Amino acid sequence: MAAIVGVLRFRISIPECSSLKYKRSVVKRLTARIKERFNVSVSEIGNLDNRDKAELAVASVNSDIRYLNGQLDKLTNFLNEEHGFVLEDYDLEFR
């Protein structure tokens, strides 16, 4: 059985953000909720010094690509429904 890695990269904007401290609290809360709800790895990968934007990546490993696709699709829906930020763009890739 081959291991398949699913990677979801996404960018969010935090419109009412006035400081890096506030941005980091939003990102920290979001990453904790994603890890808890979806049991995936997540990390902030870009726009680290930009106070109103963040770029994150989520990775999950499984032998079933249908499972990975469904899991990451549910995560994308979760991001669209969350409050406190706007999902600007995302990219899904399997390796």
Q: What is the 3-state secondary structure (H, E, C) of the chain?
A: CCCEEEEEEEEEECCCCCCHHHHHHHHHHHHHHHHHHHCCEEEEEECCCCCCEEEEEEEEEECCHHHHHHHHHHHHHHHHHCCCCEEEEEEEEEC
Identify the pLDDT of residue 16: 86
62 within a domain of the structure (yes/no): yes
CATH number reported for the structural domain that contains residue 15 in this entry = 3.30.70.1120
Q: Nearest 5°: CA angle at 32, between 16 and 17?
A: 10
5 within a domain of the structure (yes/no): no
2 within a domain of the structure (yes/no): no
Q: pLDDT of 16-57, one tens digit each?
A: 888 999 999 999 999 999 999 999 999 999 989 999 999 999
17 within a domain of the structure (yes/no): yes
Question: Structure pTM?
Answer: 0.92
Side-chain half-sphere exposure of 43, counting CA atoms within 13 A: 6
4 within a domain of the structure (yes/no): no
Domain that holds residue 18: 11-94
Cα radius of gyration rounded to whole Å, the chain? 14
1 within a domain of the structure (yes/no): no
63 within a domain of the structure (yes/no): yes
Here the tokens at position 33 are 């909720």
Q: For residue 14, what pLDDT band results from cuts at 50, 70 and 90?
A: very high
Count the domains in the chain: 1
